[in-house]
Amino acid sequence: MMNHQKNTMSEKPVIAVTGGGQGIGRAILLYFTERGYNAAVLDMNLETAAAVAEECKARGADAIAVECNVTDSASVNAAYDQIGGYFGGRLDVQVNNAGVFRRERVEDATDDVTDLLIDVNLRGPVYTSRAAIKIMKEQGHGSIINAHSILGQFPDFGLGVYSATKAGLFALTRVLAAECAPYGIRVNGYAPSVTDTPMVHHIIEERPEAKLDQIPMREFGTPDQIAKICWFFASDLCEYTTGINVPCDGGTWDVQRPFMAWKAAGKL
C-alpha cells in the first residue's frame, strides 16, 4: 500500500471506486476527474490502480492509488483510513464497483466459487459502505453507488449464486438508503447487462448475435454509459432520489423477442 502524506481538506469533491484499476471502475474515475473530482483508485492490483491514478492526474485531479481487498475488513478499514487522511476527511462519492462473475449450476458450485462470489459481490460492498459512511457522516453528505446487475432481477441458468449476490446487493442498497438518509447520504445502484469490459468480453466474442437478440437497442453497453449513470446519482439532479436501481442495459429482456422489432422495421 502506498504511503500518502497529504491530510488537508480537499477543495474538490472526492470519489472512491473499488475495482478502479480497469473496466467500468476506470471509466467512472476518468469521467469524474474530467469534471472536477479528486480520486481514490482502489484495487487489489496496486500497479493497475497506480496507472489509473496517473490518468486521473493527467486530467487535473489529485489522485491516489490504494491497495484494497474488499473481502477483508481490515484491508478495507486501512484503505479508507488512508483515503480519509489524505483528503482531509472528505469523501463525496463511493462506488462499490468491484465484482466477480462465475457461471456454475448451484449443485456444481464449489465452496471456493460460492465464497468468492458472496465475499466480493456482497460482503465487499458491506465493508466498503461501512467504511465510507464513517467519513460521510462527519461531513454531513455523500452518495454511495452500488453495482447491481440485471441478473439480480432476471436470473439465468447456471447463475444462481451470482444472481443471489446481486439480488442481495439491491436489498442492501434499499436498507442502506433508509439508514443513511438522516446523515444526508444517498444510496442507489445501477444494473448493467452485457457491458464491454474484460470480465464479460468472452461473451461478446463467443455469441454476439444471441446476446444482441435479447437487447431492444441491439448494442452492447460501454463503461462510459455506466459512468454517466453514476454522475447522475452523484449530482444535484438526483438530490431527492435514494434506494433505487437504474438499469443501464439497452432494454434487455423488456419483451421476449426484442429482435422482432428490428425485423418488422426491415433492419434485421
Catalytic center residues: 162
Contact 4, 82 (CB under 8 A): yes
Those residues whose C-beta lies under 8 Å from the C-beta of residue 176, and which sit 6 or more positions away, are 129, 144, 187
C-alpha distances out from residue 37 to 56, 76, 185, 211, 214, Å: 9, 22, 18, 35, 36
CA angle at residue 176 from 171 to 180, to 5 degrees?
165
How crowded is residue 125: how many other Cβ atoms within 10 Å of its Cβ? 28
The three grid cell numbers given for residue 58, joined into one nine-digit string: 493527467
Cα 185 from Cα 144, distance rounded (Å): 7
Q: How far apart are CA 229 and CA 5, in angstroms?
A: 32
Helices 124-139 & 160-180 angle (0-180, nearest 10)? 20
CB-based burial, 76-94: b 16+ in 10 Å, e otherwise: bbbbbebbbebbebbbbbb
Residue with cell 453495482: 147
Instruction: Kindly give the pairing relationship between strand 142-147 and strand 93-96.
Output: parallel
